[in-house]
Structure 1
Amino acid sequence: MKKILLSIGGLVLLVIAVLLVAPLFISLEDYKPEIAAKAKEATGRDLEIGGKISLSLFPTVAIEVNDVALANYEQGQNKDMVTLEQMALELQVMPLLSSEVVIDRFVLVKPIINLEIDKTGKPNWELEGTQAPANETATTENSESSDGGSGAGLSGLSLGDVRIENGELHFIDLASGAKEDIEALNLEISLEALNEPLSLDGRLDWKAETINLKADVANLESLMNGGSTALEASVNSSPVNFSFNGTAQQASAFALAGALDLDVPSVKGLTDWVGAPIERQSEETFGPLSVKGQLDLNGSVVAFDDVSLAFDALTAQGALKIDSSGSVPNIVAALSTGVLDITPYLPPETSGGQDASSESTSDGGGAVQNAGADQGWSDEAIDFSGLKSVNADLALKSEGVKIRKITIGVSELGILLQGGKLTADLKQLALYDGQARGKVVLDSSKATPTTAINFDLSGVQAEPLLSDSADFEKLLGTLSSKANLTTQGASQKAMVSNLNGTGDFIFQDGAVKGVNIPGLIRNVSLDALQNSFDEAQSTDFAELSGTYTIQQGVVNNQDLSMIAPLFRLSGKGTVPMPPKTLDYRLEPKLVGDLEGQGGDSGAKGLAVPLLITGSWSDPKVAPDLAGALTDQLKDPSALIEGVTSGEGGVKLPLGDGDDAGGVEEVIEKPKEALQKLFGN
């Protein structure tokens, strides 16, 4: 036995001696041509080893190769696809005897990888070496499947000093023009065993910014075999910071579940950095972005719960789910927000009011004119394709919305988008002391897009609404209105020309600023007409109402009615929207009736009609004296009865401005009344 042990010991010593001495007598330089030939056979590319090759077999298997280059394909922009300044690999010998791989050291120094796609779309990483025989492929697959999992064959893997130093990755696509460069890539990996924690720490330079990467995987073996493991990962850089803390699983699909924290100091800076710059209207926009929540990713489905989002001065909370497994992404979200001020994100307003070229003037005959010209409706096709690129079901609640000067209170909106059909259901909207509800349905799935709109306003204060939304400050009162409208077309012009529908409105306890209607009735001379339209004038009323129909873009109103003590106003006409014109007749009427709301809108009296014609920007207002005489003289007794209230005297409102409705003079003789009304 002693001799046997001595013999075995001597053999072991001899093997060790051979492993130590053999590399001293074997010149690996002689094998370079053979190594290059094998590489050519496997890849179809030339392999060049310009530096020294060293080999050590004991106490560890260590190999070092210097100055390696793998050629690019013939049409490549770069000579080589891969170059490597040095590769050093060191394995422990004894674990290899028990099918374990313990890597003490694996270092790649300055690897440079050039990835290219030529103009025909062919990538250079598709190698053209000799393919393995089918039976060999099958044998390999069978051996992999027999392991019972992708991690089974690597169960004895252990990584020590594994590093990439100063690596570079360059990508260019000649077909699309895309180009990316990653430089200063440094990566360190530590793994004592597959069932032990894996640590990854690295950094790289991309687009002149340094990005730091870090990841810790609790059990890589579990992840590789379809189980779950704890995962912490982070990305830190000046433009964006990201962190995740949760679990990961690689089963039928890759899955993540855990806390997500995204911080972007400047969205504008981020988009500029990635090469997709956005234009902003204000320095206050597209600034900080913060997203925090619970992430649940399972393959193509991403869900966020308990989301807290802050973007500039906007905030939101709720839940969001995105499913990209279909032909288009599907988004389901329920979000509540604070006050949303979207004004900073809108393009600048055109100059408000009228400029020097559009000031109101008189034609010298009492008609009010406007020198400006109306801009025509655009016939440029509206791109609705974005409505077909995503499906969505959104429930949005907001404490308020600000759009330029418009201030909206608490609101609730439901948005459903399916196959290019958008339904926006305004369930609640607090609007200037009143409420609004409505629905918009835009169907772009058809050859010709269609739109249906209905809304219901109640108790809305007209003056601030019209002032903030249209810079119109002439009408006061409490507004209630309904409308049901439909249209079709793919351009602004087509949609206006095809507009149809019905609606109604009523203003209560209001006033018309800038006009003295009793003054018009009292004196219809052309000078008086001009003077009655003045910013200092106003006319109070108890009620202003009407209904309208729209056919092919032409608004038709036949029952405009204003009721006020001592006068009435009626109107009828059309507003053709496609050409932006007016054809309207107003009929102010002096009556002997002090009633306001609830008064008889058809009370008899002396009417002084006004014709409003022309374009929207250049309307002409002129008295219809011929029409007035014709209508009134049909029944003189009724005229006298109407303006005297049966009391034998005519009551005339003689004041201006706020005093216009007061009865300041009673003229006993109808003749004198008519002379006073129509001038001397």
Structure 2
Amino acid sequence: MSRGLSWFLLLAALFGFLALCVLLFIPMLLESSIFRPELERWVSRGVGRSVSIQGLVKVSLVPQIRISLSGLRIPASQGFPERDLVRIDSLQLEAPLSHVLRNGLKPRFISLQGLHLVMERDREKGFGWPETPGKGKKRDGSDASQLERPAPLRLPTPLLGLLSEVAIQISEADLICVDRSNQRQGRITGMSLSIGGNPSDGPQWIRAQGDIQGHPFTLQGSLQASPLAGAAGKLLLIELAAKVGGRLEGSLKGQIRSLGPSTEADLQVRVEPFSWQPLLMAVGYDPKGSFMERWQQVSFQGNLMLSPGSFQVQQAELRADDSLIRFSMAAGKGSRPGLMLNLETEELDLNSLFQASVGSKQRKRNPRAGGLKPNEHTKAPAGPKLQSVALFPLSGSAMIHRVLLKSQTFEDLQVSYRFEEGVLELQEIRVKLEGGELWGSGSVNFHGPKPYVHFDLRTMEVQVGPVLQRLAGTFFLEGRMGSHWDLEGPWEGDLDQAALTWKGQADILLKDGGINGVDLSKVSRSLGLAGDKKENQKARTPFSSLVAHLGLEDGTLKVSKASMQNKDLRILAAGRADLLEKSLDFRLEPELGSRQEGQEGAVLVVPLWVEGSFSHPKIHPDLAGIRKKGEGKLHLSIPSTKELKEVFRNFLKGR
């Protein structure tokens, strides 16, 4: 019995001595400079980058495992704006021995002090760490030394488990985002982050604070993890609230599901009304000159859904001042990656989006209309590319219940579109307009020095009078319009300038209308004597139909093949209107008289010249052009001899 006890005590002492040696030897081995290269290789394999440890390494195994590292560096590639991608002054990892025996080398506590983290945003390649230059040649023969797509950050443990199972303490951290395409950097400085609590008993709390480009921010909330019912995964409930610069307040609430290597999220985001212009300036975007410049208060709420290879926003509402925009969007990474965006809003004031029109004296006529050949409007005209083109295809639809443009209200505007490779295709445009409808298609080409637009539009049953009154300030013409317009030209943000630089053509049919301000039948019968102004203001030329072909080029509207008809009068017309000088030059050929049924008859053609300005047109007869058409009796009520003498006397006096 005594011998057995002796052996037991001896073995216990031996194991105790060996354990003590291990507890002393392992820390000494890890802390020695001999083991430093192996430790650096082990850490480098974990994060996928070359890591150097330039400071001290301290390891202790009792009362719990604790590893302290200082002076960690992940150097950046040569030519990168920052010297280091990651720099950590002090890193400390802690875990109870029992936890390590059950879960492997997964810490329960992480502390980082003096963290300096740099990521890269590339307009074409994405967001992440800039790829380390390779060596030699790729399979396709290209130089592998060129920078590749930014690589994602690799962590030694899944992010979901890191957030839900590990207490984290970060202090004095600087986060930098580099965009080499426009030489811009975004910075979060002086950040501190704390995630802690007792995950086995309840949620972990999370707190953070820092400074974004001079704007202080705070973040607080909770995280709670639980096993995913019916699957070998994990469910993380998240609830966060944030404040930025005293202007922005928002919240995020939802759940994140982890199923093996994939992660899905369903989140509700809400941003309270805030003044966002200072924040846009802080992140490097200047809203000056864009429609967003006029937005003072902005708020947002919506549901975000994320899964591998896709991103969705559902039931989203963006409120800008008094404007409410409802939208949904989806993005994917399939064989043809793209973004789908559907919008709906009650009202859009286009007057606020266009530049103020300059006076006619300041506007210049384009020396040539330019333009593209038919069916070539989607090709890029010569010229430098605009920098602001989409990174990936964009498609969707828009529904705007009221559109305001120069006091004109368009109702229920519907647009389906696609934007790809710098060309916006308006696949369908449909809008209610003054009792009728306008529909068609178009395109906007953003290549070249200015956007180039093309529209193919049609109208049906549109009351043209109110449209002209609101858009052009005149009510000289009325009727129900059916038309087909084909227009193209550069867009400079000014509707008046577009009339001078665009080219195109149109076919118009007006029914049951009239020309206000003049009685062409009376003018023709009096050989140009129109009467006084009061009579002219009340005068009207009714017609049952008016047909015309219009051509627009270099600021001149040419009218050909125009005819107007009613039961007593038929008028043929041709001429031009100078949109820059706002002047008229037309020749009208009214046909007076009619052929009686069953009888031969003739009509009298009385040509009229219409000249002068849009606001004060002058009408006078072409006496030499008066002629008779047809044979037989002329059924025409003409002025008496006394009236004719008075007409010629007034005409010779220039009245």
Match of residue 665 from structure 1 = none
Match in the other structure for 1:413:
414
2:263 aligned with 1:254: yes
For 1:631, the aligned partner's letter is R
Q: CA deviation at 1:466?
A: 0.9
The answer to whether the Cα contact below 8 Å between 1:541 and 1:563 also exists between their aligned partners in 2 is: no
Corresponding residue SS for 1:33? coil
Pairing 1:627–2:624 present:
yes
Task: Work out whether 1:273 is the aligned partner of 2:282.
Answer: yes
Residue of structure 2 equivalent to 1:401: 403
Larger of the two Rg values belongs to structure? 1
555 and 116 in structure 1: CA distance in 2 versus 1, 3 angstrom threshold: closer
- Structure 1 distance, partners of 2:307, 2:579, is 52
| Whole-angstrom CA distance in 2 between matches of 1:608 and 1:110 | 94
Letter in 1 for 2:196: S
| Distance apart, 1:15 and its partner CA | 7.0
Q: Secondary structure at the match of 1:218?
A: strand
Shift of 1:275: 0.9
Match of 1:643 in 2: 637
Contact 2:327–2:341, Cα closer than 8 Å, also in 1: no
Aligned residues between the structures = 580
Which residue does the alignment assign to 1:202? 208
Q: Is the 8 A contact 2:29 2:35 kept in 1?
A: no
- The answer to whether residue 244 in structure 2 is matched with residue 244 in structure 1 is no
CA-CA distance at 1:245 after TM superposition: 2.5
Instruction: Mark the CA change 1:158 to 1:32 in structure 2 (over 3 Å): closer, same or farther.
Output: farther
Q: What's 1:609 paired with?
A: 607
CA distance change for structure 1 residues 578 and 384 in 2, over 3 Å: closer, same or farther? farther
Question: Alpha carbons of 1:503 and 1:226: their partners in 2 closer, same or farther (altered >3 Å)?
Answer: farther
- Partner residue of 2:146? none
* CA positional deviation for 1:308: 3.2
Q: Which residue of the partner structure matches residue 191 of structure 2?
A: 185
Q: How big is the shift at 1:278?
A: 2.0
Partners of 1:158 and 1:191 within 8 A in 2: no
Q: Which deviations, in whole Å up to 9, do the C-alpha atoms of 1:249-303 show, x marking residues without a partner?
A: 3447532224332456244344322212122478982333333333333333333
Q: Percent identity?
A: 14
Equivalent of 1:162, from 154, 164, 168?
168
Counterpart residue type for residue 610 of structure 1: L
C-alpha displacement at 1:504, in angstroms?
Answer: 1.0
C-alpha displacement of 1:220: 6.9
Distance in 2, matches of 1:500 and 1:170, equals 54
AA of the residue aligned to 2:472: A
Higher mean displacement: 166-175 or 71-80:
71-80
Q: Tell me the TM-score normalized by structure 1.
A: 0.66
Partner of 2:572: 571
Aligned to 2:480: 480
Q: Is the 8 A contact 2:378 2:443 kept in 1?
A: no
| Structure 2 CA distance for partners of 1:109 and 1:611, relative to 1, 3 Å | same
Indicate the residue corresponding to 1:676 in structure 2.
646
Separation of aligned partners in 1, 2:631 and 2:164: 112
CA distance in 2, matches of 1:384, 1:262: 41
**Corresponding residue for 1:137?**
none
Q: Cα distance, 1:539 vs. partner?
A: 1.4
The 3-state SS of whatever aligns with 2:294 is coil
Answering whether residue 522 of structure 2 is matched by residue 504 of structure 1, we say no
Hey, what does 2:316 align to over in structure 1?
307
2:145 corresponding residue in structure 1? none
**Other structure's SS at 2:257 match:** strand
Report the secondary structure of 2:627's partner residue: helix
Q: What is the SS of the residue equivalent to 1:188?
A: strand
d(CA) in 2 for partners of 1:14 and 1:470?
Answer: 100
Structure 1 residue 674: deviation in Å?
1.8
Distance in 2 between the 1:124 and 1:202 partners? 27
Cα gap change, 1:277 to 1:214, in 2 (>3 Å): same
Shift, 1:621, TM fit: 5.2
Partner deviation per Cα, 1:149-171 (whole Å, 9 max, x = no partner): x989x999996653111122345
C-alpha change, 1:56 and 1:388, in structure 2 (3 Å) is: closer
Describe the superposition over 1:403-454 as per-residue Cα deviations: whole angstroms up to 9, x where unpaired: 2311123x2524153876835545551x33x122422254979xxx996634
> Contact 1:19 / 1:57 at 8 angstroms: preserved in 2?
no
Aligned equivalents of 1:552 and 1:198: distance in 2?
A: 69
Q: Does 1:460 align with 2:463?
A: yes
Letter in 1 for 2:185: K
Match of 2:370 among 360, 373, 379: 379
Question: Which residue does 1:292 correspond to in 2?
Answer: 301
Q: Per-residue deviation at 1:306?
A: 3.2
| Distance of 1:258 and 1:83 partners within structure 2 | 32
1:560 aligns with 2:594: no
1:546 CA displacement: 1.5
Report SS of the residue matched to 1:506.
strand
Given the alignment of the two structures, is residue 327 of structure 1 paired with residue 336 of structure 2, yes or no? yes
Q: Give the 3-state SS of the residue equivalent to 1:642 in structure 2.
A: coil
Structure 2 SS opposite 1:179 = strand
1:345–1:151 CA distance, 2 compared to 1 (3 A): same
Compute the RMSD of aligned alpha carbons.
5.5
Deviation at 1:673, TM superposition (A): 2.9
Name the structure 2 match of 1:543: 543
Residue 501 (structure 1) shift: 5.3
SS at match of 1:34: coil
Question: Aligned letter for 2:546?
Answer: G
AA matched with 1:609 = P
Amino acid at match of 1:246: G
**Equivalent AA in structure 1 for residue 646 of structure 2:** K
1:276 corresponds to which letter in structure 2? Y
Match of 2:138 in 1: none
Secondary structure of 1:399 counterpart = strand
For residue 346 of structure 1, what is the amino acid of its counterpart?
F
Paired with 1:70 and 1:467, the residues of 2 have a C-alpha distance of: 69
CA displacement 1:206-239 (0-9 Å, x = unmatched): 211234445644337759x873524325454246
Residue equivalent to 2:90: 86
Give the TM-score normalised by the residue count of structure 2.
Answer: 0.69
The one-letter amino acid of 2:609's match is L
Residue 469 of structure 1, aligned match among 468, 471, 490: 471
**CA shift in 2, pair 1:45/1:13, >3 Å:** closer
Write the distance in 1 (CA, Å) between the matches of 2:489 and 2:355: 25
Does the CA contact (< 8 Å) of 1:183 and 1:205 recur in 2? yes
Q: Return the alpha-carbon distance in structure 2 between the equivalents of residues 13 and 74 of structure 1.
A: 52
